[in-house]
């Protein structure tokens, strides 16, 4: 097959695929095609896994305490606003928490797809988490779980906003925003300095909350397979979200085991009482904003 013929066929398939896209998002920032976000995410992956650590290797770590305080509490504010929008757009004003379809026609449905786009865009803002790790030379925090989570979420949510901005598939967005309110509050307090460490004893419970989130996401989405005549229009997203929920549940369980069962990530308030020795006999601690 000639290259020109292959290109023409690919363009035809792409055009046919886009016929099912939501026309309401035409012209919205980053929504024209998946190419812009793909470039951003590839640049992010290259920076945090290769270029950034090499640039910082022989440099002193940046002191970003003031920046982190502003960033984390800004994330709290944004997450609270998104929770409000998800609730007002459907989850508190008509959704049944069962097999809710996407509403493509009403003003309420438009409000929901706007909330979905804002949630999608917030995932690019959260890429700063990893960039701050690099600049502060906290390379031990740049785990597979962290990078995978931060890169896969915006990539998959582009398709959600483009085709199915509402209904059953947005429940995990609402839950994730609720968790982020609590999570970024924790990180904001941590960034304020040692005098606030006594308020951070609940870090283990934050991980528990994240595990509960993934159990709820999976339990909610799989009801699609048990509800007769479910009206949700895009079954493909059911499989994507179910896979996402199960995958991250397993990854976070693995994190829990190594962080808390093996004691590698205890909060500082607990470490003062009982530091966990590393292989060299030194007390170890790995915290996002220490």
Radius of gyration of the chain (CA): 21
Rounded Cα–Cα distance for residues 168 and 217 (Å): 10
Q: Which of 12, 149, 220, 286 is catalytic?
A: 149
**Two structure tokens written together for 21:** 């896209």
Q: Which residues, 6+ apart, have CB-to-CB distance to 39 below 8 Å?
A: none
User: Got the DSSP string for 243-290?
Assistant: HHHHHHHHHHHHHHIIIIIS-SS--HHHHTTSPEE-TTS-EE---TT-
> What count of other Cβ atoms lies within 10 Å of the Cβ of residue 29?
10
- Tell me, yes or no, if 149 is annotated catalytic: yes
- 10 Å CB burial of residue 60 (0-12, 13-18, 19+) is exposed
Q: Report how far apart, in Å, the C-alpha atoms of 32 and of each of 10, 28, 118, 279 are.
A: 17, 7, 16, 51
How far is Cα of residue 159 from the mean position of the Cα atoms in its chain?
A: 15
Q: Which residues are catalytic?
A: 149
């Amino acid at each position: 097959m000639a290259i020109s013929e292959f290109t023409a066929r690919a363009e035809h398939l792409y055009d046919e695929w886009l016929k099912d896209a939501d026309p309401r998002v035409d012209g919205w920032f980053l929504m024209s095609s998946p190419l812009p976000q793909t470039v951003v995410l590839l640049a992010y992956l290259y920076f945090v896994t290769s270029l950034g650590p090499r640039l910082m290797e022989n440099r002193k770590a940046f002191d970003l305490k003031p920046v982190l305080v502003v960033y984390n509490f800004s994330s709290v504010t944004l997450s609270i606003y998104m929770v409000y929008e998800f609730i007002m757009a459907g989850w508190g004003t008509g959704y049944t928490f069962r097999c809710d379809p996407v509403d493509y026609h009403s003003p309420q449905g438009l409000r929901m797809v706007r909330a979905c786009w804002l949630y999608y865009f917030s995932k690019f803002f959260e890429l700063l988490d990893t960039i701050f790790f690099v600049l502060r030379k906290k390379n031990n925090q740049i785990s597979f779980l962290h990078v995978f989570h931060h890169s896969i979420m915006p990539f998959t949510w582009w398709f959600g906003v483009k085709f199915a901005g509402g209904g059953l598939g947005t429940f995990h967005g609402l839950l994730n925003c609720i968790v982020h309110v609590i999570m970024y509050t924790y990180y904001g307090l941590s960034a304020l300095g040692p005098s606030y460490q006594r308020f951070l004893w609940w870090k283990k419970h934050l991980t528990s909350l994240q595990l509960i989130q993934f159990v709820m996401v999976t339990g909610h989405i799989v009801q699609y397979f048990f509800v007769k005549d479910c009206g949700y229009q895009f079954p493909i997203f059911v499989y994507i979200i179910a896979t996402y929920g199960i995958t991250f549940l397993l990854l976070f369980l693995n994190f829990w085991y190594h962080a808390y069962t093996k004691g590698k990530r205890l909060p500082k308030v607990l470490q003062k009482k009982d530091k966990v020795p590393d292989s060299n006999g030194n007390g170890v601690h790995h915290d996002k904003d220490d």
